[in-house]
A and B are shown apart, each in its own frame.
Chain A
């Protein structure tokens, strides 16, 4: 059984650019959530996807958007990057209706 995978591992962008991060859910999981973890903080919920639709959103602006594909893989897109977007971005998957979410290793995004 393959766990949650994310790509790329690291990424460096400049202010104003756009970035796409990718996630493959664990087999059998039909929800995917994205979290942002700033240095010294706990992960912060960005949004969740279920059945290819956004199913809940945290306190993040619309320039953070996402997609879920029929095979339950997912993308996180961030437009007009700002310096404060520098963080570890975590993808988590889980079965609908269960409390536990399983995390991938994360993508470290640095915005210069």
Chain B
């Protein structure tokens, strides 16, 4: 039972263009959604998060959009840079500080390649 789904395994974009990474979830009890970036031989690095009470959160080149009715979120990277090439994981959790409910549930990840 995969509660967080990243259906596209890979994405390739040209440097300077927009990268749009998509994520769907099935559990309506999720309260927070996060994006992590992972390089080979490193642990996941936190990028950006959004609470379920918001529909958009922006941090520099990264913007996350949340559509609760569709149970869908997306990460936009503008402009894309070659250093953005990595595996991106979408994750979701329940309300923080609630033990197992605050665990992170991850998707399988999407490999982003930014071509120079």
Contacts and interface: CB of A to CB of B under 8 A. Distances in A.
Interface of A: 4, 6, 33, 35, 40-45, 48, 50, 55-58, 90, 92, 96-106
Contacts of A105: 41-43
Interface residues of B, number: 29
A55 B42 CA distance: 26
Interface of B: 4, 31-32, 34, 36, 41-46, 49, 51, 89, 91, 93, 96-97, 99-109
Contacts of B31: 99
A56 B36 contact: no
A93 B103 CA distance: 11
B103 A56 contact: yes
B88 to A, nearest CB: 11
Nearest to A101: B104
B108 A99 contact: no
Contacts of B89: 42-43
A4 B105 CA distance: 20
A68 to B, nearest CB: 14
Contacts of A41: 108
Contacts of A101: 46, 104
Q: Is the interface of B mostly helix, strand, loop or mixed?
A: mixed
B52 to A, nearest CB: 10
Nearest to B33: A99
A74 B104 CA distance: 18
Nearest to B91: A42
B46 to A, nearest CB: 6
A44 B106 contact: yes
A55 to B, nearest CB: 4
B79 to A, nearest CB: 25
From A6, A41, A43, A105, name the one whose CB has the most chain B CB atoms within 10 angstroms. Answer: A43
Contacts of B108: 40-42
A42 B107 contact: yes
